[in-house]
Amino acid sequence: MEIELFEIRDHLFSHPPFRNLPRNVVDELVEHIEVAYFQAGTMILERGRQNQFLYVIRSGAVEILRSSGELYTRMGEGECFGQFSLLRKKRVRYAAKAIEDTLVYKIPDAQFQELADTYDRFADFMEEEHSVRLKTALGRAEQETRNPLMISKIDKLIHREMVTASPGISIQQAATIMTDKQVSSLVLVTDSPARGQSPIVGLITDRDLRKRAIVPGLALSTPVEQIMSTNIITLQAREYAFDAMLTMMRYNLHHLPVLDRNRPIGVITVADLFRYESHGSVYLVRDIFRQQEVAGLAAIAPKINQLFVQLVNEDANSHTIGAAISRIGISISQRLLQLGEKHLGPPPIPYCLLALGSMARDEMTIVTDQDNAFVLDDTFDPKTHDPYFEALARFLSDGLNLCGFPYCTGDIMATNTQWRQPLSAWKTYFADWIDTPDPEALLHASIFFDLEGIFGETGFANQLRQQVLDKAKKNQRFLACLARNALLRNPPLGFFRKFVLEHDGKHHKSFNLKRRGTAPIADLARVHALACGAMPLNTAERLIHIKETPLLAEGVGDDLLDAFELISIVRIRHQARQVEAGSSPDNNVIPESLSSFERNHLKDAFQIVSQAQSFLKYRYNVSPAMQTGINPSKK
């Protein structure tokens, strides 16, 4: 048997249903297999055409599409498709499209039918696999539907033992190990890690070998540590697939090592993740970073709305949806700055892009604008350096606008000189806002204190966040004033549990689910979080942290979490219905458009928020004389 056929046989043996077949049967099968390559975007099977092969994915990724063109499922390495048409008169019902450069093994129909007729487990696998997928796709599964990203632990995504080696081996030895073990990544570990630290010191992938070794022409004897990736991002086995998705989106990762405490137990890839993640947000992020022009990013923007609607239709919770949309917005911002630096040249001094408000809290929906700022190194000289950063800020802001993130009506953008300042100036801003909490300072605090560094020297953002945590909790006057401002946005609930509606204007007879619903909860969670020095930015995560402190009575934190989720998901579903109807989404809901279930439970949720606001007034000693200020409408 030729060496290529050995590789095909070994690959088949590592995946069901072939691993259950006799070795001599697979040896004979590989003699009939064809190998085919499809570029990303290429149709492999077209609906209505004849198919004569079972396809086994060797590498890459494939989308299976319904007749309407909507996504049915995604498949990766080791998975099969085409069997349904072979079992049903050879006519293709579900089209197949390569979404990455994909290599497949094609098993002819004659060999497929012989295996199905001879081996019941093989036939059962093909029949049952399709049946399960079909029931899931059509929503006919009898069990309760829950988003698997939220309930599946990361270790469930690991399908093989981690392959490791010493960082001292050569490039040739690394390539040999990866070929022999049939893996696309090699984890490099040390035998003597520091106490309490992971032994992982590096990671090398197929891509690293190509780009860092073969293309530069390095000698094969070169130590692999010279080309390995360091500062490896890892996750713990007890975390959820959802956490893996967010981490891969945030850092644009293809491989993610998993630890059980500090013991490496496996590596998950994007292909592993999308078995759980049918909506493809990780692939959308990867597509974003492949764009070479702003126009390419703008062309991707409509997919964000499609993703949003799909997540809603899959019954994802508000945290999943908000985090996915936020991370996509962050990825677009990061790619715009990469393109901006390519266009304008490297920055003259270090800088950091701040994401603010809902993007920093992982709570974005598709109704949003852009809130951002630049923190510059303290060597900043306005005459010398600001023309570059002004141009970069304009490139970023204009690009975001083209990508569906409109200009901020409050001018909270890095294009505003006030929000394009050195780190020392930002520290002065933050200190002044806390020490002198006049209405304007409180408005700024409510916007800028929810910040995340998303590009460049992100340590600048960490310094600012730490300054806020250290200083705010010691200043009772500031906390009282911030609590006062949090009381300016009340839930739309009047006497006798009647909704309080807008009486005139564009949104007549409606109420705003953001301004009167989610924002009041975010406001009070921010006050409590600053009071107890809680690190999280996400409102739900803040509430989880706060309820473990003496700040809230027993049960109040859980009630607020439930109220926040209910209001958020009603708001999100409202926007998704508008997108599907072809209208512009907004936050304004007419009560009659809601189901009786939604109306009744919204009233309960608003009542919980009202009670929490009453406690806020008491807890921070907000006197009637203090209850004046600017309504913090910009968040």
Q: What is the pLDDT of residues 461-491, one digit of tens each?
A: 999 999 999 999 999 999 999 999 999 988 9
At 30 the pLDDT is: 92
At 2 the pLDDT is: 62
Mean pLDDT to the nearest integer, 562-585: 92
CB atoms within 10 A of CB 1: 10
Q: Flag the least confident range among 170-179, 310-319, 521-530.
A: 310-319
CB atoms within 10 A of CB 112: 22
Is the backbone peptide bond immediately before 17 cis, with ω within 30 degrees of 0? Answer: yes
What is the token pair recorded at 267?
């590596």
Q: Flag the least confident range among 48-62, 439-453, 501-515, 521-535.
A: 501-515
Mean pLDDT to the nearest integer, 492-510: 75
Mean pLDDT to the nearest integer, 525-549: 93
Three-state secondary structure string covering 441-494: HHHHHHHHCCEEEEEECCHHHHHHHHHHHHHHCCCHHHHHHHHHHHCCCCCCEC
Residue 104 three-state SS? strand
pLDDT above 80 for 573: yes
Phi, psi of 376 (to 5 degrees): -105, 155
For residues 72 and 517, what is the distance between their CA atoms, to the nearest angstrom? 35
At 253 the pLDDT is: 80
Q: Flag the least confident range among 192-196, 252-256, 386-390.
A: 192-196
At 278 the pLDDT is: 52
pLDDT above 80 for 363: yes
For residues 154 and 258, the answer to whether their CB atoms sit within 8 Å is yes
Cα(first)–Cα(last) distance of the chain, in Å? Answer: 66
pLDDT above 60 for 295: yes
The pLDDT confidence band at residue 131, using thresholds 50, 70 and 90, is: very low
For residues 609 and 491, what is the distance between their CA atoms, to the nearest angstrom? 7
pLDDT above 60 for 75: yes
The fraction of the chain above a pLDDT of 70, given in percent, is: 91
For residues 207 and 270, the answer to whether their CB atoms sit within 8 Å is no
For residues 320 and 363, the answer to whether their CB atoms sit within 8 Å is no
Per-residue CA distances from 205 to 100, 103, 157, 186 (Å):
17, 18, 19, 6
Mean pLDDT to the nearest integer, 227-237: 86
What is the token pair recorded at 564?
């926040």
* pLDDT per position as a tens digit, 249-265: 777 788 888 888 778 88
Mean pLDDT to the nearest integer, 228-250: 80
From the list 499, 55, 71, the residue with the least C-alpha distance to 311 is 71
pLDDT above 50 for 145: no
For residues 363 and 101, what is the distance between their CA atoms, to the nearest angstrom? 33
Q: Which residues does 631 contact at the CB level (< 8 Å), separation at least 6?
A: 488, 489
pLDDT above 90 for 111: yes
Burial class (CB in 10 A: 0-12, 13-18, 19+), 379: exposed
Strand order in the sheet with 200-205: 164-165, 185-189, 200-205
pLDDT above 70 for 139: no
CB atoms within 10 A of CB 313: 13
Q: Across the chain, what does the average pLDDT equal? A: 86
Mean pLDDT to the nearest integer, 158-185: 87
Three-state secondary structure string covering 170-236: EHHHHHHHHHHHCCCEEEEECCCCCCCCCCEEEEEEHHHHHHHHHCCCCCCCCEHHHCCECCCCCEE
The pLDDT confidence band at residue 273, using thresholds 50, 70 and 90, is: confident
At 624 the pLDDT is: 61
Distance of CA 109 to the CA centre of its chain: 40
At 496 the pLDDT is: 58
The pLDDT confidence band at residue 138, using thresholds 50, 70 and 90, is: very low
The pLDDT confidence band at residue 269, using thresholds 50, 70 and 90, is: confident
pLDDT above 80 for 552: yes
Residue type at position 335: R
The pLDDT confidence band at residue 37, using thresholds 50, 70 and 90, is: very high
